Amino acid sequence: MRQSHLFTKTRREAPSDEVAKNAQLLIRAGYIHKEMAGVYGYLPLGLRVVEKIKQIVREEMDAIGGQEMIMTSLQRKELWEVTGRWDDKNVDVWFKSKLASGGEVGFGWSHEEPITDMMKHFIGSYRDLPAYTYQFQTKLRNELRAKSGIMRGREFVMKDLYSYTKDEAAHEVFYNSAIEAYKRVFERVGLGDRTYLTYASGGAFTEFSHEFQTVSDVGEDVIYIHKSKGIAVNKEVLTPEVLEKLDIEENELEEAKSIEVGNIFNFGDTKSKQLGLLYRDDNGEEKPVILGSYGLGITRLMGTLVEVFADDKGIVWPEAVAPFRVHLVALVPDGVTVAYADSVYEDLVRAGVDVLYDDRDARAGQKLTDSDLLGIPTRLLIGKETIETGKIEAVDRRSGEGKRIPRGEIVGAFA
């Protein structure tokens, strides 16, 4: 993409009403637009990042048998009344509205009820199980207090997967495969070494749920990390009994603030019984389906990546989710340099390289500052020196290290 065609612009200053680093940088760089507190639009660059993250998650969910679909944002009041979760006393984040034709609807803050209800149409026999469904959905939650930029909004994108299995044993198998899939996701986006499988409160259905917590000072959670086991325990469940159960000594733990980027848990058969999701086993006996729920905040993960990797110059994207692989920058406006940069751009595009080409009529200083802010992994600089030597300077955004790549090898270096 030619940067001169990009309608967004960078800003020198962050809006005064944003304190969170993720929002400041994403707005300054033109990735997102704030519509109101806790509600952000995703602009062309931001959308690219969202889609890259989604694609990684998609691949990992597909790999464990997930089937992508998409449910509706409008939800039936009657359905949620069955499980007692329509009542504002039980769920305090509902956005609700009325139908012109009469009746009430809610805006989906979660989809366990609708998906489970829908699955009644497709699950009747043990032969129909297991089933794993997932979606990327915009969740709407009427948070009392939105905060921290895109980390905790009233509208956000989440991947939610639901597992339907015939018994606890089958559930367990899938649950563990989901844990491994989540680990691969965080590994692929570069957060593997600071994201911990965390034991958290299990609620009414199981002893524990599991969270995926990324260590960061801007996090809202406090976890206790057991480095050698590679797991953590959420502060809210840290008791002597839990430590004993996990075979952990308290003095082996390190406290850290963290961001909850994923949460998986077992609903057991409770919701299936409530909603009537039953199946016949091979003895003709009617049984409730076991339900598991697996959330992963896509936009929160995007914010986490900004928080964790940004430096004093701006955003630093991991290659896997960067909006573009390379940022080609024509440093001087003379015809020879521009023509040279144009040809490099065309070669890269032809080779299928994701490239953002700064072809704007702007000064080198501004282009370089903007490039730092945008955070694209590799910057290719085309200047007078390039013309003279026939070598293109490639600078790594994260380390700042540069190397000269001969013009003839430039496509091969990134294709």
d(CA 408, CA 47): 32
For RNA, the closer of residues 109 and 126 by Cβ is: 109
Q: Check: CB of residue 29 under 8 Å from CB of residue 373.
A: yes
Tell me the closest approach of the beta carbon of residue 244 to RNA, in angstroms.
20
Tell me the closest approach of the beta carbon of residue 134 to RNA, in angstroms.
16
List helix spans (H) across 72-167. 77-82, 112-119
Q: Check: CB of residue 169 under 8 Å from CB of residue 38.
A: no
Residues at the interface with RNA (CB under 7 A): 9-20, 36-38, 91-92, 110, 143-148, 152, 200-206, 209, 220, 263, 265-267, 293, 313, 331-333, 362-366, 368-373, 381-386, 393, 395
d(CA 73, CA 220): 27
Tell me the closest approach of the beta carbon of residue 355 to RNA, in angstroms.
18
What is the phi/psi pair of residue 285, to 5°? Answer: -85, 140
For RNA, the closer of residues 148 and 216 by Cβ is: 148
| H or E segment and range at residue 406 | strand 402-406
Q: Check: CB of residue 327 under 8 Å from CB of residue 371.
A: yes
For RNA, the closer of residues 60 and 393 by Cβ is: 393
Tell me the closest approach of the beta carbon of residue 58 to RNA, in angstroms.
23
For the chain, the farthest-separated pair of C-alpha atoms sits apart, in whole angstroms, at 81
For RNA, the closer of residues 56 and 356 by Cβ is: 356
For RNA, the closer of residues 13 and 286 by Cβ is: 13
| Long-range Cβ contacts of 89-93 (<8 Å, 24+ apart) | 92/142, 92/144, 93/141, 93/142, 93/143
Tell me the closest approach of the beta carbon of residue 300 to RNA, in angstroms.
11
Tell me the closest approach of the beta carbon of residue 55 to RNA, in angstroms.
26
Half-sphere exposure of 247 (CA within 13 A, CB side): 2
For RNA, the closer of residues 38 and 52 by Cβ is: 38
